[in-house]
Amino acid sequence: MIHGDLRADNMVRDHDRGVTFVDWAHATTGPACIDAASLAPQLVLAGHAPADIARLLRDHPATASSPDTTTAFLAALTVHWHRNARKLAPPAPPDCAPTSTARPPPVSLSSATD
Protein backbone atom coordinates (compact mmCIF):
# COMPACT_ATOMS: atom_id res chain seq x y z
CA MET A 1 0.00 0.00 0.00
CA ILE A 2 1.23 3.49 -0.82
CA HIS A 3 0.06 6.79 0.64
CA GLY A 4 -0.08 8.51 -2.74
CA ASP A 5 0.17 12.10 -1.47
CA LEU A 6 3.24 12.48 0.70
CA ARG A 7 4.08 16.10 1.47
CA ALA A 8 5.07 17.96 4.61
CA ASP A 9 1.48 18.84 5.49
CA ASN A 10 0.54 15.14 5.43
CA MET A 11 3.14 14.24 8.05
CA VAL A 12 3.03 14.83 11.78
CA ARG A 13 6.28 14.60 13.72
CA ASP A 14 6.16 13.54 17.34
CA HIS A 15 9.29 13.61 19.48
CA ASP A 16 8.59 10.17 20.98
CA ARG A 17 6.80 8.37 18.14
CA GLY A 18 8.57 9.77 15.09
CA VAL A 19 6.63 10.64 11.94
CA THR A 20 2.99 9.69 11.39
CA PHE A 21 1.49 9.93 7.91
CA VAL A 22 -2.01 11.42 7.80
CA ASP A 23 -4.65 12.10 5.12
CA TRP A 24 -4.80 8.73 3.39
CA ALA A 25 -7.45 9.83 0.86
CA HIS A 26 -5.19 8.85 -2.09
CA ALA A 27 -4.00 5.51 -0.70
CA THR A 28 -3.66 2.77 -3.28
CA THR A 29 -1.55 -0.24 -4.13
CA GLY A 30 1.70 0.18 -5.99
CA PRO A 31 5.47 -0.11 -5.76
CA ALA A 32 7.00 1.16 -2.51
CA CYS A 33 9.35 3.44 -4.44
CA ILE A 34 6.46 5.75 -5.45
CA ASP A 35 5.99 7.32 -2.02
CA ALA A 36 9.72 7.81 -1.51
CA ALA A 37 10.18 9.27 -4.99
CA SER A 38 7.16 11.56 -4.67
CA LEU A 39 8.97 13.34 -1.85
CA ALA A 40 11.79 14.43 -4.20
CA PRO A 41 10.05 17.59 -5.53
CA GLN A 42 8.95 18.51 -2.02
CA LEU A 43 12.53 18.21 -0.79
CA VAL A 44 13.81 20.37 -3.67
CA LEU A 45 11.20 23.03 -2.89
CA ALA A 46 12.29 22.88 0.77
CA GLY A 47 15.83 23.80 -0.32
CA HIS A 48 17.63 20.45 -0.42
CA ALA A 49 20.20 19.92 -3.18
CA PRO A 50 19.03 17.65 -6.04
CA ALA A 51 22.28 15.66 -5.83
CA ASP A 52 21.61 14.92 -2.14
CA ILE A 53 18.06 13.82 -2.95
CA ALA A 54 19.29 11.60 -5.79
CA ARG A 55 21.81 9.99 -3.43
CA LEU A 56 19.09 9.45 -0.83
CA LEU A 57 16.80 7.85 -3.41
CA ARG A 58 19.60 5.68 -4.76
CA ASP A 59 20.38 4.36 -1.25
CA HIS A 60 16.86 4.13 0.24
CA PRO A 61 15.64 0.50 0.44
CA ALA A 62 12.28 1.32 -1.19
CA THR A 63 13.90 2.92 -4.24
CA ALA A 64 17.21 1.05 -4.44
CA SER A 65 15.39 -2.18 -5.27
CA SER A 66 13.63 -0.61 -8.27
CA PRO A 67 15.74 2.23 -9.71
CA ASP A 68 14.14 2.04 -13.18
CA THR A 69 10.63 2.40 -11.73
CA THR A 70 11.79 5.27 -9.51
CA THR A 71 13.45 7.12 -12.40
CA ALA A 72 10.42 6.59 -14.66
CA PHE A 73 8.08 7.90 -11.95
CA LEU A 74 10.29 10.96 -11.38
CA ALA A 75 10.35 11.64 -15.13
CA ALA A 76 6.56 11.45 -15.30
CA LEU A 77 6.24 13.66 -12.22
CA THR A 78 8.58 16.23 -13.78
CA VAL A 79 6.53 16.31 -16.99
CA HIS A 80 3.35 16.71 -14.93
CA TRP A 81 4.82 19.64 -12.97
CA HIS A 82 6.18 21.23 -16.14
CA ARG A 83 2.90 20.97 -18.07
CA ASN A 84 0.81 22.19 -15.15
CA ALA A 85 3.13 24.96 -13.93
CA ARG A 86 0.84 27.71 -15.22
CA LYS A 87 -2.23 26.07 -13.72
CA LEU A 88 -0.62 25.58 -10.30
CA ALA A 89 0.20 29.24 -9.69
CA PRO A 90 -2.92 31.41 -9.54
CA PRO A 91 -2.52 34.93 -10.90
CA ALA A 92 -1.55 37.48 -8.27
CA PRO A 93 -3.92 40.34 -7.52
CA PRO A 94 -2.86 43.57 -9.28
CA ASP A 95 -1.45 45.13 -6.09
CA CYS A 96 0.76 42.13 -5.17
CA ALA A 97 4.21 41.15 -6.35
CA PRO A 98 4.23 38.09 -8.63
CA THR A 99 4.83 34.74 -6.97
CA SER A 100 7.47 32.26 -8.07
CA THR A 101 6.37 29.52 -10.42
CA ALA A 102 9.71 27.73 -10.23
CA ARG A 103 9.47 23.96 -10.32
CA PRO A 104 12.06 21.43 -9.21
CA PRO A 105 14.50 20.09 -11.79
CA PRO A 106 14.32 16.43 -12.76
CA VAL A 107 16.27 14.12 -10.50
CA SER A 108 17.78 10.95 -11.92
CA LEU A 109 19.19 8.20 -9.74
CA SER A 110 22.23 8.10 -12.00
CA SER A 111 23.02 11.79 -11.31
CA ALA A 112 24.06 11.17 -7.70
CA THR A 113 27.71 11.57 -6.84
CA ASP A 114 29.43 10.20 -3.77
pLDDT tens-digit map of 80-100:
877 776 665 555 565 655 555
Plot region of 61 (φ>0 → left; ψ -120 to 50 → alpha; else → beta): alpha
**Quick one: CA dihedral 22, 28, 32, 35, positive or negative?**
negative
pLDDT tens-digit map of 25-82:
999 999 989 998 888 888 888 899 989 998 998 999 988 888 899 999 988 988 887 7
pTM passes above 0.85: no
Check if the beta carbon of residue 8 is closer than 8 Å to that of residue 42: yes
